[in-house]
Amino acid sequence: MRLRLPTERPTEPPTGYKIAHPVLSQDGTRAGFTGVSLGGALPYGVVAEAGCVYGRRHRPPARLCDCGFHCVHERTAAEALLCTAEHRSAVLLEVSVLGAYIRFERGFRYARQRVRTMTVGPCACGAPAVALADAGWGRPGLRALAAACAACVRGRVSVTPASFARLAGDGLRAVTDGALGGASLGADGTDGVPEGLTTPDGPTTPEWLGAPQEVGVPELAAEAALLQARLDWFQTQLARLGERGTGPAGHG
């Protein structure tokens, strides 16, 4: 006789933690995530439903397959994954487990999810992040993003964490902290951190990211602030070049 675990009927959705790479559509109007493991080729939005990565017609999470979203129970377990070299540029997600799920010792495999909070770590140089900038890779129609400080943003396509939350929609909160746990930035760009977006125009945008939203005064103000940070960096570099070029006058 096969023993089966009791069926759970929680009064509210369970909470889980996972890591993912933030992505921005080519035209810079929509945002979402892509996984770090088997389902990395299938990007998803804040509220998403899983599909079988093998193309089978069953509904995830099937017991005889490993399809579906995955997350762990403990936040510290997800943070530990960020220590590996291939995951250093990922962000930490707090999710609500929706629909059918299978509980394991360390986490869940489940059908649907809502991403509640995205936590952005420090820049690769160790400085606090002020933006999510082009990471140098992506998917068709999508740019992968990574945390960047004001000095490292330079001329790359970038978006502030608060603006990313607004573009992603569905109530996503963005948190920026070098220790993975700082002040919350709402989707409306409140808490004193302006929204900002710096992207070139592009022809294609994946449909899963939802409808584009209008850019208003807060976004333009943040754009100006981000451009000012870049201008300061360029002026510093020009000053250094000028110092190297100065010296005694040459002889004819």
Q: Which amino acid is at 126?
A: G
| pLDDT score, position 225 | 62
Is there a domain that residue 31 lies in? yes
The band of 16, judged by pLDDT with boundaries at 50, 70 and 90, is very high
Is there a domain that residue 131 lies in? yes
Measured in degrees and rounded to the nearest 5, phi and psi for residue 219 equal: -65, -40
| pLDDT score, position 204 | 41
In angstroms, the Cα distances linking 86 to 19, 20, 21, 90, 91 are 12, 11, 11, 9, 12
First to last CA, the chain: 99
Q: What one-character DSSP code corresponds to residue 252?
A: -
| Of 19, 35, 29, 17, the residue nearest 139 (C-alpha) | 35
Identity of the highest mean pLDDT range in 23-27, 199-203, 234-238, 247-251: 23-27
Q: Which amino acid is at 185?
A: L
% of the chain beyond a pLDDT of 90: 55
Over residues 119-154, the pLDDT tens digits come to 999 999 999 999 999 999 999 999 999 999 989 998
Q: Which amino acid is at 55?
A: G
| pLDDT score, position 222 | 58
% of the chain beyond a pLDDT of 70: 73
Is there a domain that residue 126 lies in? yes
Higher pLDDT, 215 or 201: 215
Is there a domain that residue 251 lies in? no
4-23: average pLDDT: 88
Q: Does the pLDDT of residue 104 top 60, yes or no?
A: yes
Provide the domain count of the chain. Answer: 1
| pLDDT score, position 146 | 97
Is there a domain that residue 91 lies in? yes
Is there a domain that residue 138 lies in? yes
| pLDDT score, position 215 | 52
Range(s) of the domain holding residue 183: 15-240
Is there a domain that residue 2 lies in? no
| Of 210, 189, 172, the residue nearest 29 (C-alpha) | 210
| pLDDT score, position 54 | 81
Task: Locate 102 and state its tokens.
Answer: 């299978």
Beta-bridge mates of residue 81: none
Is there a domain that residue 105 lies in? yes
Q: Does the pLDDT of residue 207 top 70, yes or no?
A: no
